[in-house]
């Protein structure tokens, strides 16, 4: 028809390429806000914000920002983005799709470990065999405080011909698991406001570590289990598909509740090897009271809060879980507290910086346990 106008078909880039254009914007933890405005709940970008990110990315590359809607639809269709919840007032929540998680996990794992991250499938070298479910045929006497995985035959041999009431710890024999047994890991990320203060972003590197660790487990340790928790005034589990979008808030540091959630997860996990990884840049400054209220004190080391935190670390130790603490600050009070924490939990601590965090955590994860 004479005079008719037709809009050209958009020349869209591959969905994976377009997603990487905006990935850093999606992972921003609040550090890019020049006024460091904090909000009472962790904010996540909605569909409209992602549309704006795409418009900016297209314009920066000399492409038509008007293609943002078509590109956004492609990201949904190809599994990079997924809607969350019910649409409200024309807006809907966003989570990352499985393809986005795989792409980011592989990217960060490769950056943090290089060739180490591309090694073939494997299992955890556990060093000394530990009591567990995958029997190795070996056994040893029970050690007080460790989980019971008894070798029934060997225990009965020691008991007979004694009557049951004479059973003592010395008669118990533990069945040992094969070295390289599956492991359950609770990853605890501090999301208090200090994680984007003092001129550096500490929370975004922590989120990248979580994505890389999840990819490492999925590709090399498929028998393992991972749960991620964020903690500020309160601690809560965060699905991996939402974690990249979480921002820090104006919170204190409730390390005790994070350790309690780790215990709950590890108790439910059937894997014979269990560990908690704690990433923080501050001393504990909050605790949850029995009635659910949160007690806070940011001034110095409050012994009430410290005692509650050490109590949870001791419970981790008694259930046979290891505790690894990665400190992102050199504040004397934090260092002093962490020394007490790992002494009680019989774990280990690493002082590191955001740019080195991923390498330390991932290499530690692959080290021999025991």
Confidence (pLDDT) at 92: 61
> Which backbone phi and psi does 187 adopt, to 5 degrees?
-100, 120
- Tokens, residue 22: 């905006």
Banded model confidence at residue 207, pLDDT cuts 50, 70, 90 = very high
Distance CA 24, CA 123 (A): 32
| Cα–Cα distance list, 113 to 124, 141, 215, 244, 359 (Å) | 17, 39, 12, 20, 6
- Tokens, residue 327: 């400190």
Distance CA 335, CA 332 (A): 5
Of the spans 16-25, 40-49, 124-133, which averages the highest pLDDT? 16-25
Ranges of each domain in the chain: 15-102, 135-177, 183-366
Confidence (pLDDT) at 11: 74
Any idea which of 1-5, 176-180, 348-352 has the lowest mean pLDDT? 1-5
Banded model confidence at residue 286, pLDDT cuts 50, 70, 90 = very high
Residue 23 CB-density burial (10 A; 0-12 exposed, 13-18 middle, 19+ buried): middle
Would you say 171 and 218 are in contact if contact means Cβ atoms under 8 Å apart?
no
For the stretch 36-79, pLDDT in tens is 444 444 456 788 889 999 999 999 999 999 999 999 999 999 99
Q: Indicate the CATH number for domain 183-366.
A: 3.40.50.410
Confidence (pLDDT) at 138: 59
Query: Which is higher by pLDDT, 151 or 256?
Result: 256
Over 70: is that where the pLDDT of 149 sits? no
Distance CA 334, CA 166 (A): 48
Placement of tokens 């505790």 in the chain = 323
Dihedral sign of CA atoms 136, 137, 142, 148 in order:
positive
**Which residues are CB-contacts of 242 (< 8 A; sequence separation ≥ 6)?**
44, 84, 95, 96
Q: Which is nearest to 45 in space by CA: 60, 62, 33, 34?
A: 33
What does the pLDDT average to over 1-19?
A: 70
Confidence (pLDDT) at 89: 45
Distance CA 239, CA 244 (A): 10
What does the pLDDT average to over 103-113?
A: 91
Confidence (pLDDT) at 116: 47
Pairing mode of beta strands 294-296, 135-141? unpaired
CA 162 to the chain's CA centroid: 49
Over 60: is that where the pLDDT of 1 sits? no
Confidence (pLDDT) at 250: 80
Banded model confidence at residue 97, pLDDT cuts 50, 70, 90 = very high
Would you say 281 and 327 are in contact if contact means Cβ atoms under 8 Å apart?
yes
In whole numbers, what is the pLDDT of the chain averaged over residues?
A: 82
Q: Which fold, 15-102?
A: Arc Repressor Mutant, subunit A (1.10.10)
What does the pLDDT average to over 248-262?
A: 93
Distance CA 202, CA 281 (A): 8
For the stretch 174-194, pLDDT in tens is 665 544 678 999 999 999 988
- Tokens, residue 203: 């929370």
Over 60: is that where the pLDDT of 317 sits? yes
Banded model confidence at residue 139, pLDDT cuts 50, 70, 90 = low
Beta strands per DSSP E along the chain: 81-88, 91-96, 135-141, 173-177, 183-190, 225-231, 235-237, 273-280, 286-288, 294-296, 322-327, 348-351
pLDDT cut 90: percent of the chain above it:
51
Banded model confidence at residue 128, pLDDT cuts 50, 70, 90 = very low
Confidence (pLDDT) at 370: 40
Placement of tokens 């919840």 in the chain = 85
| Cα–Cα distance list, 278 to 220, 223, 233 (Å) | 22, 22, 16
| Cα–Cα distance list, 350 to 171, 173, 203, 278, 364 (Å) | 39, 35, 17, 10, 10
Domains 15-102 and 183-366 share a fold: no
Confidence (pLDDT) at 90: 44
Over 90: is that where the pLDDT of 80 sits? yes
Pairing mode of beta strands 91-96, 294-296? unpaired
Confidence (pLDDT) at 39: 45
Banded model confidence at residue 333, pLDDT cuts 50, 70, 90 = confident
Of the spans 254-258, 300-304, 356-360, which averages the highest pLDDT? 254-258
């Amino acid at each position: 028809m004479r005079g008719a106008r037709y809009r050209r078909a958009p020349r869209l880039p591959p969905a994976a390429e377009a997603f990487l254009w905006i990935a850093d914007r999606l992972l921003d933890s609040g550090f890019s806000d020049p006024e460091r405005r904090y909000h009472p709940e962790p904010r996540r970008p909605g569909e409209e914000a992602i549309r704006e990110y795409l418009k900016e990315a297209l314009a920066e590359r000399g492409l038509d920002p008007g293609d943002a809607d078509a590109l956004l639809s492609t990201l949904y269709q190809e599994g990079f983005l997924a809607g969350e919840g019910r649409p409200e007032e024309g807006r809907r929540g966003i989570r990352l799709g499985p393809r986005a998680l795989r792409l980011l996990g592989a990217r960060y794992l490769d950056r943090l470990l290089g060739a180490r991250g591309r090694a073939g499938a494997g299992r955890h070298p556990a060093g000394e065999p530990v009591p567990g479910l995958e029997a190795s045929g070996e056994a040893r006497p029970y050690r007080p405080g460790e989980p019971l995985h008894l070798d029934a035959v060997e225990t009965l041999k020691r008991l007979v011909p004694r009557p049951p009431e004479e059973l003592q710890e010395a008669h118990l024999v533990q069945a040992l698991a094969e070295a390289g047994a599956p492991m359950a890991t609770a990853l605890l990320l501090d999301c208090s406001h200090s994680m984007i203060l003092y001129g550096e972003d500490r929370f975004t590197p922590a989120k990248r570590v979580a994505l890389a660790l999840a990819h490492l487990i999925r590709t090399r340790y498929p028998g393992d289990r991972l749960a991620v928790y964020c903690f500020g005034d309160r601690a809560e589990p965060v699905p991996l598909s939402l974690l990249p979008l979480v921002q820090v808030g104006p919170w204190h540091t409730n390390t005790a509740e994070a350790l309690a959630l780790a215990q709950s997860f590890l108790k439910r996990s059937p894997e014979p090897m269990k560990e908690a990884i704690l990433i923080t840049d501050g001393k504990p400054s909050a605790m949850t009271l029995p009635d659910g209220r949160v007690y806070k004190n940011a001034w110095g080391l409050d012994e009430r809060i410290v005692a509650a935190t050490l109590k949870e670390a001791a419970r981790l130790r008694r259930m046979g879980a290891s505790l690894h603490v990665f400190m992102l600050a050199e504040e004397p009070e934090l260092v002093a507290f962490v020394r007490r924490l790992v002494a009680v939990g019989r774990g280990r601590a690493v002082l590191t910086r955001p740019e080195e965090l991923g390498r330390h955590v991932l290499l530690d994860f692959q080290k021999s346990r025991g």
